[in-house]
Structure 1
Amino acid sequence: MEAVLTHLRDAIERGELAVGEKLPTEAELGKRFEVSRSVVREALRALQALGLTVSRAGKGTYVAAGGPVQNPVFGAYSARDLIEVRRHVEIPVAGYAATRRTQDDVDLLTHLIGKMEQEPDPTAWVALDTLFHISVAQASGNPVFRKIIEEIRDALARQSTFLNQLGDRRRQSDLEHRALVEAIVGGSEGAAVRAMAAHLEHVETTLNTIVRPGTAQHPQMKAKKQHE
């Protein structure tokens, strides 16, 4: 998928595929790159999330811009929308989870992170990732928080897929999730808040790196600059 995406993205950004031009069909692209149509479909979804293409029902996929938009869209919500809401919801939620979690919550989160670390299938991992964040919200003891995360679960899944495909985020996400689980299990509100904040900061940094290669700062460097 990455090879197909890279080739099409480069062709668009170099102007070989002009704005308004129709891309070959999924079948044609699959034959050209010797991959399945499902692989091509994932690459086309990533192009659309980047704002490079638009899909027109019954007509095909067309080039929409010569470069990626600054604010990719995942389903009904943009990356900026998701980051803003997640900062205001999931960071305090992590703190509440650390002080209110039940043994059932601890068992579920521990089970989920273990499965994620061992899951070989990317699609299954994304489903577990979404369930993990819903379960953290559930551990907060406030059903409203869970409802909020469930509302954006489709967008979170699309964003997670995007980050794993283009930003190779999966291994790092597992480490960040493990740190969060350890903080919640340990009952440390401060550690849980810091772990979730670091997780979201890395998500945002990876998104910026994908959209604007070479411009995003590592979270520690960004924090240092702000401090100075």
Structure 2
Amino acid sequence: MEAVLAHLRSSIERGEYAVGGKLPSEAALSREFEVSRSVVREALRGLQALGMTESKTGKGTFVTATGPADNPTFGPYSARDLIEVRRHVEIPVAGYAAVRRSQDDLDLLAHLLDRMEAETDNTAWVALDSLFHITIAQASGNPVFGKVIEEIRDALARQSAFLNQLGDRRRRSDAEHREIVTAIADGSESAAVAAMTAHLQHVEATLTSIVNGDQ
């Protein structure tokens, strides 16, 4: 998927596909790159998230820009929207979870960590990632935080899949998640806040790197 996306992105940036022009169909791209249509579909979603194309139902995928947008979109929310909300919600939530979590919360977080580290399927890992962050919000003892994360769950999943595909984030995320859970288990509010802050900073840095073409 990364190779297909990189090739299409480069072709658009070089002007091989003009703004307003239509990309070849999924079937044609699948034949050209000798990959499955699902791989092509993921690559096209990546281009759309970068703000370089637009998909029109029944018509195809059209080029909208010769380079990536500064602020990729994931469903109804932009990357900037998500980062701002996550900074103001998930960072304090990690601190609350450290002082309010139950043993059941810790057991579930440990179980999720083990499953994520053993998971080989990216789609399944993304689903576990969403559940991991929701579980921390619930461990805060404030049900409103859980509702907020649930509201943006689909956008977070799209962003997570995007980062894993283009930024090779899975192994790094697993390590960062374990640091967060360790701090929560230790009951250290400051360490949990620091660990979640570092995690979100790495997410933002990877997004910036992808947009700049460094990945």
Name the TM-score, length of structure 2 as normaliser: 0.99
Deviation at 1:22, TM superposition (A): 0.3
Q: CA deviation at 1:213?
A: 3.4
For 1:205, the aligned partner's letter is A
In the alignment, structure 1 residue 127 sits paired with structure 2 residue 123: no
Shift of 1:16: 1.0
1:157-176 alignment runs, 5 A limit: 157-176=157-176
**Which residue of the partner structure matches residue 32 of structure 2?**
32
**Superposition misfits of 4+ residues, deviation over 2 angstroms:** none
Map 1:1-228 to 2 at 5 A. 1-213=1-213
Alpha-carbon distance in structure 2 between the residues aligned to 1:101 and 1:63: 48
Partner deviation per Cα, 1:58-104 (whole Å, 9 max, x = no partner): 10000110000000000010000000000000000000000000000
Q: Which amino acid aligns with 2:69?
A: V
SS in 1 for 2:157: helix
- Distance (Å, rounded) in 2 between the aligned partners of 1:188 and 1:110: 17
In structure 1, what is the Cα distance between the partners aligned to 2:172 and 2:213? 19
TM-superposed deviation, 1:173: 0.4
Aligned equivalents of 1:212 and 1:39: distance in 2? 23
- Provide the TM-score with structure 1 as the length reference: 0.93
Structure 2 regions of 5+ residues with no counterpart? none
* SS of the residue 2:120 aligns to: coil
Q: SS at 2:15's partner residue?
A: coil
Q: Which whole-Å deviations, capped at 9, do the CAs of 1:106-126 have from their partners, x for residues lacking one?
A: 000000011101100011000
Q: What's the offset of the Cα at 1:57?
A: 1.3
How far 1:170 moved relative to its partner? 0.7
Question: What SS class does the counterpart of residue 67 from structure 1 fall into?
Answer: coil
How far apart are the structure 2 equivalents of 1:143 and 1:72? 29
For 1:141-175, what per-residue CA distance to the aligned partner results, in whole angstroms no more than 9, with x for missing partners?
00000000000000000000000111111110001
Structure 1 gap ranges (5+) = 217-228
For 1:116, the aligned partner's letter is M
Cα distance in structure 2, aligned partners of 1:140 and 1:127: 21
- Deviation of 1:17 after TM superposition, in Å, equals 1.0
Name the SS of the counterpart of 2:55 in structure 1. strand
> 1:179 is aligned with what amino acid?
E
Rounded to whole Å, the distance in 2 between the matches of 1:190 and 1:113 is: 21
Note the aligned Cα RMSD (angstroms).
Answer: 1.0
Distance in 1, Cα, partners of 2:30 & 2:51: 22
**Percent identity of paired positions between Structure 1 and Structure 2:** 74
* Structure 1 Cα separation of the partners of residues 76 and 18 of structure 2: 27
SS at match of 2:62: strand
